Structure 1
Amino acid sequence: MKDFVCALFVGLLCLSVPMATIDTPPKVQVYSRLPAEWEKANTFICHASGFHPPEITIELLRDGEELLGANQSDLAFEENWHYHLTKHVLFSPSEGQVYACRVTHMGRPNTYVLGWYLPPL
């Protein structure tokens, strides 16, 4: 009986490992640290969470071009071996510019636009 229980436990453990390795796309949040104001210094942030496997890149974009000087957190894992990653950069938004975050997970890119609106100057 003891051997049966041990074998059953090992079998269940083996079944749970593949479940944790199923591809899970990231949940992405794009936001600024402070409320938006034209020409005011702010921080543009992109946070990806809940993804697996950890093969991911985050690019912060202004009008489709990557912003230089961005900083990225270390890749960290959550429960069930899902991961999270944050990238941010200082910016001063100007009227007409479009800020976005391009997240590529497992070779599949998705672009998320910074979602606040400011009236014209």
Structure 2
Amino acid sequence: MSRAKNPKYESMSLEELKANMEKSRQELEAAIHHKNILEQRKKLVERRERSHRLIVKGAEFEKVFPLSRDLEQEDVQDMMNQLQNSSYNKSIVRQAHIAALHKDQQQIAEAVKKTEKGDDS
């Protein structure tokens, strides 16, 4: 299996080929570095979003159960386990999840209709 020769490179001198190869290597290293930076930024954004979500949900929990502020972490975990094991609570969470999915689907459908009509507002 032989590779076809590229006429673009046949006319180049050895020094030009080496310079071209070095430039390509540097561009590859820069692209890899840029990719790593973007991956780090993505992880940072995801971590910030998760932290924000946990803080907001914790605040909502304290708002509903104000006495939970005085509980130790272990007591809160025990209480959450009891709440988790309740079939009534599981049903409520499941219904809320289904309602949220339905709302998301409606919003997507409305956005598609607006796009199809050409309404950008």
TM-score over 0.5 for the alignment?
Answer: no
Q: Relative contact order, CA 8 A, sep 6+: which one is greater?
A: 1
Flag the structure with higher strand content. Answer: 1
